[in-house]
Each structure stands twice: as C-alpha cells, then as structure tokens.
Structure 1
Amino acid sequence: MSRHLLAMALAPLLGLFILGIGNGFLATVITLRLDAAGESAVVIGWVSSAYFIGLALGAMLNDRLLLRIGHIRAYGSFASLVAVTVLLQGLVAEPWAWFTLRLIGGWATVGVYLVIESWLLASGDAKVRGRLLALYMISLYAAGVLGQLLLGVTEAMGGAASFMVIGMLASLSVLPMAMIPRVSPLIEKAEPLSPLRLITLTPTGVMGSFGSGVMVAAVYSLLPLYLQRTGLAVSQIGQLMAVVVLGAMLLQYPVGRWSDRHDRQLVLILIGAFCTLISAAVLWLPMNAWLLAGLLFLLGGGVFSLYPVAVGHAADRAPAGALVRMSQGLLLINAIGSALSPPLVSPVMSLLGDAGLFWAFGAMGLFLLAFFGWRRSVRPAPVPVAPFSPSTPMSAAGAELAVTDEWLQGAIEHEHVEDLSGVVPEVAVAEPLVGPPPPNEAHIAYYEDGSTSVAVSPDDESCPRDSR
C-alpha cells in the first residue's frame, strides 16, 4: 500500500478508532444503568432496539446529506450529534428519553460509518480494497475490545463519567478528519435489492443475515444484563464483553477460510449447531469465571462469523452486476434483525429468567441449523467461487468494500447459476445538486461548500464547466 493511499485512509480510520472506543461500550453502559435503575428486561430491550432502528433509517437516508454537504462537514455533523445524544443521556435518565436519544444516536452513528466507508472506497481502486477492509475491521474490533476494557474504569468514576468520556471521544474523532486537506471524494449511489427479490435469489443468505442481526444485537444489548444479574462486578462484565469481541476478531478469519474449502451451506449448518451447543453448555454446565470466558469467546466467534459466511454464500450465487446491490440488501436485512432482536429476546428473559438469553441463542441456532439443512437438501450450495473476505455489518456504502476483484470474477464465471433478468449492473451515478443533469460525457466533483464542478469532454460545449 502506497504512502499516499495510507495517508488518505489514515484520517478516517483514526476517527473511526477514536469514536469506536466509546461506541464499543456505550450499549453495555446503557444496559447496566437501566438494570441498576430497576427497569425490566423488556424496557431495556426496547431502548436497545432504538439504536438499531436508527442504524437502519440512517443507512437508507444519510447518503443524501453526504452528497449535499461533503464528507468532512458530514462527519463533523454526525460525530457532533453522537456526542450530544450521549451527553444528554448522562443528564436525563428516563427510559423514554433514552429511547429517543438512542434512535438519533444510531442514525448519526451510521452516518459516521457512511462517511468513513465512502472515503475509503474513493481512496483506492479495487486492487487495494481487501487491505482497506482489513484495516477497517482491525480499527473497529480493536476499538471495541479497548472500549469494553475501559468500562470498569469509567463506571468506577460514578455519576455521568461514562457518558462524558464517550461524548469526549466522539468529539475528538472529528479532529483527524478536520485537519486533513480539503479533499472530497465522490460517493456512488446504488439502491439495495428488495427483501422479496433477495429471498428469491438467496434464501440462505437472507436468513443468515437476519439471524446474525438478531444474535449480535442480543450480545451487545442483553448479554451485559445477564452478566450483571449473575453477580459480576462492572469491571468483570467489561472484561467478558471484551473477550466476546476478541473471539469475533480472532475466529472469524479461520472460519471464513474454512468456508473457502468446503460447502458454505455446510459451514453455516455447523455454525448454527455450534451456537446451539455453546448456549446449552452455558445453561447446563457448572460455571466458573474461566469456563464462562472460554464459552463466551467461542460464542463470539460463532455468532460474528455467521454474517460474512452468509454473505459469501450469497455472493457465490449472484452475478457480477448484482453484487453491490445484494450486499446492501443483506445489510438492510441484518439491520432489521438487529432492530427486532431486543424486543423479541427480552420477553424471553422476563419469562424464563436471565438464562432465557441463552435459551433464545440456542433456539435461534437450532432454527438456523434446521433452515440451512432444509435449504441444502432442496438445493445444494455452489462451489465457493471467491476467497472469503472477513467483514462486519457496515453502512450501505461500505458494502462495496467487500466486493473484491475475486468476487466479481467468480460471479462472472458462474452467472448461469441464477437468473437475474430483472437486475441491472450497478453504474456509478453522481447526481448534481441543482439544475438539470449534465450530458453523458460530463463528470461531476463535489466540494465541501456544497458546490459542484463539471468537467466536460472537448467535443461537448453545451454544459458549463464550473457551477461554483
């Protein structure tokens, strides 16, 4: 990777890392505070769900604001809004207020991801996207581990200290983006495939993405509640949550490489069985601190590996022209699963006790096992056509980071597998902010002040060369 490319990618990745430290333990703080205030698991579930609803809404709407005001201004706006919502949570401790603030915070957080991911997309060509994706994931997971380890330190300060630290980190994350040269990359727009079309194209990919959203959201929002009610100290809860994220980071790649060498549907079946067995072990084995940490490490690896393997399976079936739209559609399905997870799982915890969380994990793993097994009997999976790319659910723009040259080549070679006559290949579209669209030969650049500049081919004199 060239120095120029590294310099272009450094600012957004550093901003992501700083913001991710605070965002990594914010959900845990909220869950523990609501439980300490005597709120029920159902109330905690709904407040947690608000964040994921905001993520889904922001993924569909925030690109319009980004196109209008530019990357640096958009990042500053979204990060500042994250900081404000977090600080307000330290001042107002009412569940209804936290629901609203978490909804806004989720909308703003996915806006931050959208800015960073589209910046990385514009920083280099497809040949380096795999390395950019790896750097993105390292930053995201490392920040998550560090954030969980800071949980005990900030909670020991008492009061609103945790919210103050998270708000300060969100504000500080603006500095790397604000101090770089005024460069505004273009963002490509592509609408995701509809859920119905996705179900027709890849039922296994849709169900894997949905199940991953349900389980990952439950890990972040309700696992801290389970751990606190078992009598663990806040610092111990943070350490165990860090172990979960560490398991996700370390086990995802080996599982993915395994899926390159075997039937991905079989790998998905085994992941479902694995999550079921781990959940049963937590429920039935006599627990001690080390055994619980080991089981949570394995659970994180299984739960977080489900999404990238499901996306890889879907990519094995999709033609080249539908890869980006398919990835964006699966992200939407994943967000829907995340939004529904806390309201669905928290009543199980109220009905069956705190252990109901692992009953829910086991039930979801068993359901996925049965569904994937049924799909494999109906239609065996194709041979993997591209190397596994470890990934985590991102914004709609970030879906393009995972679409590597190997994916495209594999899809081109296997386009006969699925009939997608209703799907057209993605075309990079840059819409002007005002006025009529330029001729076909025009290329538009967006500036930070919201203006545009149009470069026209020499044989076309009908379009103004600069609209500033």
Structure 2
Amino acid sequence: MSQLLGMALGPLLGLFIISIGNGFISSLTTLRLDAAGVSATVIGIVSASYFIGLTLGALFNDRLILRIGHIRAYSSFASLTAVSVLLQGLFFDPWAWIVFRLIAGWSILGVFLVVESWMLLAGDQKVRGRLLALYMMALYGSGMLGQLQLGAIDAWGETAPFMVAGLLASLSVLPMGIIPRVTPLVEKVEPLLPQQLIRMTPTGVIGCFGSGIAIAAVYSLLPLYLQRIGMSVSEVGQMMASVILGAMVLQYPVGRWSDQHDRQSVLIVLSLFCLLISLAIMILPSSPVLLMVLLFLLGGGVFAVYPVAVSHAADRAPAGALVRMVQGLLLINSLGSAISPLMISPLMEHDGDAGLFLAFSLLNGCLVLLFFWRRKLRPAPQPVAPFEPATPASMVGAELRVTEDLVQGALEHERMEDLSDVVPGVEVAEPVGDAEQGVREPVNGGLQA
C-alpha cells in the first residue's frame, strides 16, 4: 500500500488542490450571474458551456498528452484552468463567461485525464479497486471542502474567490514534481460508437445519459434554486456539500446491494427514489435541516445511477470490449451533461424555482418507465464481478473500472455462453445479440481478452 501511495500521491494531491477551487467556482458562477439579474436561460447556457468543454476534452485531450507528455500537459491544463477563472474575476460579462467556462471544462478534463493515466501506471488490475477508491476520495473530498468554504471565501471580496481558485490551480502543479520521471503509456482512445452501445446495452445507455442530465443539473442549477429561495452564499455551499457527501457515502452500499439483486431492478428503485425525493422537496414545508437531509439523499441516489448502469452494461460485455464500452458510456454521460442546463434552465424560467425539481421528477419518471420496459423485454444478467464505485471523469480513466475481477468475470461469462451451446442443461444470461459479434475481436486502446 505504501508503494501504491508513493506512486499515486503526487497526482492525487494535485487533483485534490485544483478540485477545491473548481468545486466552489462552479457554484459561484451560477450565484454571481443570478445576483446580477441574469435570466435562468442564460445561466443555463453558461453552465452548459462548461460541460461542452468537458465533452470536447474527453474526445481530443489524449492526443495532446501523447504529443507533449504528461507533466507538461498537466502544467498546461492547470495553467489554462487558472487563466480561465482569473478572467472570470476580471471581466463580468455572461457572454464572455461562456468562453471562459468552455476553456475551464476543456482544461479540467485534461487534468483528470493526466491524473487517471498516472493511476493506471501506479498499479495493475489487481489494485485498481483501491486506486479508484483513492481517486474518488480525492475528487469528492475536495469538492465537498470547496463547497463548505464557499461562503467564507466569497466574504473576502468580489474578485477574491476567482483569485483563490486561480492560485489553487497554479499550486496544483507542484505535487507533480514528486512523481517518478516515468512517462505512462496512453493509447489513443477509441470508445464504442453510440449505435453499438445501444444495441449492446440499451439500459446502460439510458442510465448513463439520464445520469449525465441529473448530475449536471445538480452542479449548475441547484445553487441557483437555493439562492432564489433565500439562502446565503454560505448556506448554499453547505447544501451543496451535503449533496456531495451523500454521493460519496451512499454509492458504495447501493453498489453492494446491486451485487445481490437484478441491477435493472436497482436502477428502477434508484430512479423511483430520486423521483420521490424531488417531489418531497417541492411539496414539503421549507426547512433548512429537512432540505439538507433530502439533498443528501438525492445526491446519493442521483450519483449512484451512473456506476450501477455501467456495472449493468459490464455484466453483458465481452472481456475484449470492456474498456471501449466504459469509455463510450462516459461519452454518452458527457453528452447528457452538455444538454442538461440547456433543457432545464428554460423550465426554471417558465415555471419558477420549482422547475428544477419538476425537471428531476419528469426525468426520473421517464427513467423508471424505460428501465421497467427494458427489464420486461430482457431480464438483467447475473453480475459478473463485484460493484466498483465510480464517478464520471475522463475516457482514459475508464480503464480504472476494468479490474481483474471484472475481466475474469466477463471471460467466465463468455465461456459459459459457449458451453451452453454444446452442453444441454447449462443456462446462462441471454446473450446481447448480433451486435456483440462486432465487438468480440481484440480492440486497440483497450484490454485484450
């Protein structure tokens, strides 16, 4: 474990430092625009630009890293992150902020990509579960800390939060100096195409797309709702921290529950749970303590849909396509995140603050129906490996999810499928169909079966 920490400590510290600033700037951007009287629709456009930047970074940043190397790439991405938030502090213009947030999303995804590829270098498949846990602790822990400090930093002055975020982004470069001077191998990312994923795992695509819509709305529009119901900046930060805490605390027990049950049923229950929590926030009397509890539960439910959906998809995937499949599902999730503020902010403009939770209710109601339809059409397979918690980040980091247990489980599942063709009485989960034949061969950029 000490050797593992020695290899992973530098990038994890860098990630932790830069994510503190990135966490509170995300909420502060929404709050400052709303305080200036900007419409919810324009706020949605500014928020969407950040997630569009994330999507573009997921598609293209690996090429830059291949060209200039990891440490120089990290320094470049961290510097661009610092510049983007400092420019926000210098120029208050919603249309300029669209460009700044686009750059911030593109560059922060590059930071994720560099850190995650270092995680892959730090150990093989046998320790990826522990690496993933350390990564999530750094990511969620820094996000929660940043939200808790939002009120205090905002009280320092109008431009102080942007200066602090820029300072943290610049300081995050320093821990990279303690990393051994070994360049990790990053192969070109080639995720499965959406049409392949839809044929292979419709439930996984639905879950990841819906999760992207919900998570982006939490980060970009929930602070707007909280400020409009009369909360101070400090109280907004506390409420956002409770959401992230719920995501961090509840994801693992939900995942372990999914190991013991039909994952499609778990997705149905999760979506129904989020629907009920959203309705409760709309209907129940306003109380800060009650709202904090409900947001904690909502965070746990919303953020658990993505890893359970990916785990369900992995239960069907052939071993040779696991990495490309997870990368493709991450792209689907990113697309959902990019359109989320554009879809939901006009609803808040038309129906008022409660439009956010009306959108959550409609989204989760649709997910319940779609998951139930898929379950009736094709029962879920048995889990092939234990659930591993995860959070959407970069496509290279998708390989962190592909642990030795998952690969061995997929290989065993394939072997049982082949055996059922020749040995009477051996029953296995229903195969994924003809589309699977297009992804069974070894693939570049992923693990080989």
Give the shorter-chain TM-score range. over 0.9
Partner of residue 442 from structure 2, selected from 425, 429, 433: 425
Alignment of 1:371-386 (within 5 A): 371-386=370-385
| SS of aligned partner of 2:438 | coil
Checking the alignment, whether the CA contact within 8 Å between 1:319 and 1:418 is kept in structure 2 is no
Alignment of 1:272-283 (within 5 A): 272-283=271-282
Report what 1:154 is aligned to.
153
Q: After superposition, what is the alpha-carbon deviation per residue over 1:329-368, rounded to whole angstroms, capped at 9, x for unaligned?
A: 0000000000000000001101110000000001001000
TM-fit CA distance, 1:163: 0.4
Alignment of 1:137-286 (within 5 A): 137-286=136-285
TM-score by length of 1: 0.90
Alignment of 1:432-451 (within 5 A): none
Checking the alignment, whether the CA contact within 8 Å between 1:19 and 1:169 is kept in structure 2 is yes
The one-letter amino acid paired with 1:77 is S
Checking the alignment, whether the CA contact within 8 Å between 2:190 and 2:444 is kept in structure 1 is no
Checking the alignment, whether the CA contact within 8 Å between 1:52 and 1:103 is kept in structure 2 is yes
TM-fit CA distance, 1:181: 3.8
TM-fit CA distance, 1:159: 1.2
| SS of aligned partner of 1:231 | coil
TM-fit CA distance, 1:384: 1.2
Checking the alignment, whether the CA contact within 8 Å between 1:79 and 1:112 is kept in structure 2 is yes
CA distance in 1, matches of 2:31, 2:445: 44
Report what 1:389 is aligned to.
388
Report what 2:425 is aligned to.
none
| Structure 1 runs not aligned, ≥5 long | 430-468
| Structure 2 runs not aligned, ≥5 long | 418-430
CA distance in 2, matches of 1:287, 1:104: 37
CA distance in 1, matches of 2:370, 2:360: 15
Alignment of 1:251-400 (within 5 A): 251-400=250-399
Q: Kindly tell me: are residues 359 and 426 of structure 1, through their superposed partners in 2, closer, same or farther at Cα, counting changes over 3 Å?
A: same
TM-fit CA distance, 1:425: 2.4
Report what 1:459 is aligned to.
none
Tell me which structure has the larger Cα radius of gyration: 1
CA distance in 2, matches of 1:425, 1:62: 24
CA distance in 2, matches of 1:384, 1:179: 39
Q: After superposition, what is the alpha-carbon deviation per residue over 1:234-256, rounded to whole angstroms, capped at 9, x for unaligned?
A: 10000000000000000000100
Q: After superposition, what is the alpha-carbon deviation per residue over 1:21-47, rounded to whole angstroms, capped at 9, x for unaligned?
A: 111111100000000111000000000
Q: After superposition, what is the alpha-carbon deviation per residue over 1:66-112, rounded to whole angstroms, capped at 9, x for unaligned?
A: 01111100000000000000000000111111000111111111000
Q: Kindly tell me: are residues 232 and 410 of structure 1, through their superposed partners in 2, closer, same or farther at Cα, counting changes over 3 Å?
A: same
Q: After superposition, what is the alpha-carbon deviation per residue over 1:168-210, rounded to whole angstroms, capped at 9, x for unaligned?
A: 0000000001343422111133400000110010010001000
The one-letter amino acid paired with 2:149 is L
Deviating 4+ runs (over 4 angstroms): none
The one-letter amino acid paired with 1:242 is A
Report what 2:133 is aligned to.
134
CA distance in 2, matches of 1:160, 1:127: 46
Report what 1:444 is aligned to.
none
| SS of aligned partner of 2:183 | coil
Aligned pairs, how many?
428
CA distance in 1, matches of 2:274, 2:362: 9
CA distance in 1, matches of 2:259, 2:110: 33
The one-letter amino acid paired with 1:336 is L
CA distance in 1, matches of 2:180, 2:337: 37
| SS of aligned partner of 1:422 | helix
TM-score by length of 2: 0.94
CA distance in 2, matches of 1:207, 1:418: 16
CA distance in 2, matches of 1:106, 1:190: 19
| SS of aligned partner of 2:223 | helix
Which sits farther off after the overlay, 314-323 or 186-195?
A: 186-195
Report what 1:436 is aligned to.
none
| SS of aligned partner of 1:65 | helix
CA distance in 2, matches of 1:325, 1:269: 26
CA distance in 1, matches of 2:319, 2:152: 48
Checking the alignment, whether the CA contact within 8 Å between 1:256 and 1:305 is kept in structure 2 is yes
CA distance in 1, matches of 2:263, 2:4: 34
CA distance in 1, matches of 2:369, 2:31: 34
| SS of aligned partner of 2:102 | helix
The one-letter amino acid paired with 1:256 is G
TM-fit CA distance, 1:19: 0.6
Checking the alignment, whether the CA contact within 8 Å between 2:192 and 2:327 is kept in structure 1 is yes
Checking the alignment, whether the CA contact within 8 Å between 2:190 and 2:445 is kept in structure 1 is no
CA distance in 1, matches of 2:199, 2:85: 40
Identity of matched residues, %:
66
Q: Does 1:6 align with 2:5?
A: yes
CA distance in 1, matches of 2:203, 2:180: 44
Checking the alignment, whether the CA contact within 8 Å between 2:151 and 2:234 is kept in structure 1 is yes
Q: After superposition, what is the alpha-carbon deviation per residue over 1:91-147, rounded to whole angstroms, capped at 9, x for unaligned?
A: 011111100011111111100000000111011111111100000000000001100
| SS of aligned partner of 1:382 | coil
Which sits farther off after the overlay, 239-248 or 151-160?
A: 151-160
CA distance in 1, matches of 2:147, 2:126: 34
| SS of aligned partner of 2:389 | coil
CA distance in 1, matches of 2:48, 2:403: 32
Checking the alignment, whether the CA contact within 8 Å between 1:12 and 1:176 is kept in structure 2 is yes
TM-fit CA distance, 1:405: 1.1
